[in-house]
Amino acid sequence: MKKLTMAVASSALLATAAWTAHALAQDQPAKAQQPQAPAGKGAEAQLREQGRYLATAADCIACHTAKGGKPYAGGLGIASPIGTIYSPNITPDKATGIGGYSFEAFDNAVRRGIAKDGSTLYPAMPYPSYAKMKPSDVKALYAYFMHDVTPVEQQNKATAIPWPLSMRWPLRFWRMAFAPDAVGEGVPGAPATTSETVARGRYLVEGAAHCGTCHTPRGLGLQEKALTDDFRVYLSGGVVDGYVAKNLRGDRKDGLGEWTPEQIVAFLKSGRNNHAAAFGGMAEVVQRSTQNMSDADLEAIAAYLKTLSPANPAQSPLAADATATQQLRAGTDRSNGALTFVDNCAACHRTSGSGYESTFPTLALSSVVNSDDPTSLIHIVLKGGQMPWTKAAPTHYGMPGFAARLTDRDIADVLTFVRSSWGNRAPAVSASDVAKVRKAVRAAPQPARPENG
């Protein structure tokens, strides 16, 4: 029992590193239409095109391509609390990649987290989600990687994790505890009454797109607290790489309760809609993945997400309130938060908090602004961000960072003002909250002011 306890503890530490690794990946690739066999070509061509589409939807390239490196050749280094993990080469090179993998070995790695040598993969590889993928889809992925990806001879890098945390065998216990069995053919887990469109959306969200990896909170073992909608915690929001991956359930204050299916599709295609704009990891997801998915699949994802009940059924919707707008225009609110907003934010987001559609995001009644966790807002105020480049919205807008301009107190006050104005209803932000995020994201030091030395 003592040995088992130590194994599980070690596994949890390894999982911490793995999750940190996965946090850099998240939501990314795909193509504009459902895969179709090129004219005059047969089933093999269609299978490989299907695999390419799935590789894009699954965001394989995000983790397996180093900055400036060749596609899928691995070598992406991810810092974790216990060392650096490097992604492996998954090109079909026989010496250094997966060229020697049989389909069975490939399937074991993708859907079961078991490497060719029998060791357990770090759960940075989201095999708990990929376990939901049908064998026929994995065969398509295999065909694509083996025939259409360019082989690259590049040795894999060993993880820079000190012993004994570098031992992989405890991960076997993590996999046994938290990874589901791989499914067979068919769309698993869908209720009999589910429409074909919703079933397709559920299959994509739970499987290849692995949305829950970022958007579901984690347990003590760093496992996703739920892998399906059997539990309301599923897709109720998580924190990844210094951003909040928002609640995707039907909550009307901080979820998708006020978003229409058409607005969800617009966000996934362009990275913006009337409610929000994509920044950070989600901007990369849109740019490299979801904008390239077929309209039918995006509509299926939206249809499925709109079936999700609220994580907090008692949560009441927001209602517009013009008080803050009137006070800002009259100059009667002299608080630090209001004055900081006028000096730094109002030109783009307007005194009404409504911004400019498809250009500068609205702050009023925004589900992102009203999240209980202000991490994303603090992060983007400190370091700024860029919207994705997309075919649907080729104009490219960004927000500058204010880390060197505003103190922790200034940022806390302006965000507290935003989160309590125009009908917004979210907890206040403290200077210590800002200081914590400033350190975590390695933002510039706050400017010297009398109040902060």
Q: Which residues are annotated as a binding site for heme c?
A: 60, 63-64, 211, 214-215, 345, 348-349
Burial class (CB in 10 A: 0-12, 13-18, 19+), 96: middle
Q: Is 114 helix (H, G, I), strand (E, B) or coil?
A: strand
Residue with tokens 């998240």: 26
**Residue in 340, 304, 346 with CA at minimum distance from that of residue 447:** 340
Report d(CA 427, CA 374) in Å as an integer.
8
Residue partners of 161: CB distance under 8 A and separation at least 6: 17, 80, 82, 83, 84, 85
Q: Is 288 helix (H, G, I), strand (E, B) or coil?
A: helix
Name the DSSP class of 450: G
Q: Is 123 helix (H, G, I), strand (E, B) or coil?
A: coil
Instruction: Note whether 228 and 183 are within 8 A (CB).
Output: no
- Go through 99-117 and write b for each residue having 16 or more CB atoms within 10 A of its CB, e for each that does not: bebeeebbbbbbbbbbbee
Burial class (CB in 10 A: 0-12, 13-18, 19+), 42: exposed
Residue with tokens 């389909």: 103
Report d(CA 226, CA 236) in Å as an integer.
10
Beta bridge partners of 218: 224
Query: How far from each other are the two terminal CA atoms of the chain, in whole angstroms?
Result: 53
**Residue in 142, 181, 147 with CA at minimum distance from that of residue 55:** 142
Report d(CA 57, CA 385) in Å as an integer.
24
Residues flagged as binding site: 60, 63-64, 211, 214-215, 345, 348-349
Report d(CA 122, CA 111) in Å as an integer.
13
Name the DSSP class of 92: S
Residue partners of 5: CB distance under 8 A and separation at least 6: none
- Our separate counts of H helices and E strands in the chain read 18, 6
Hey, what's the torsion of the CAs at 415, 282, 197, 264, to 10 degrees? Answer: 40
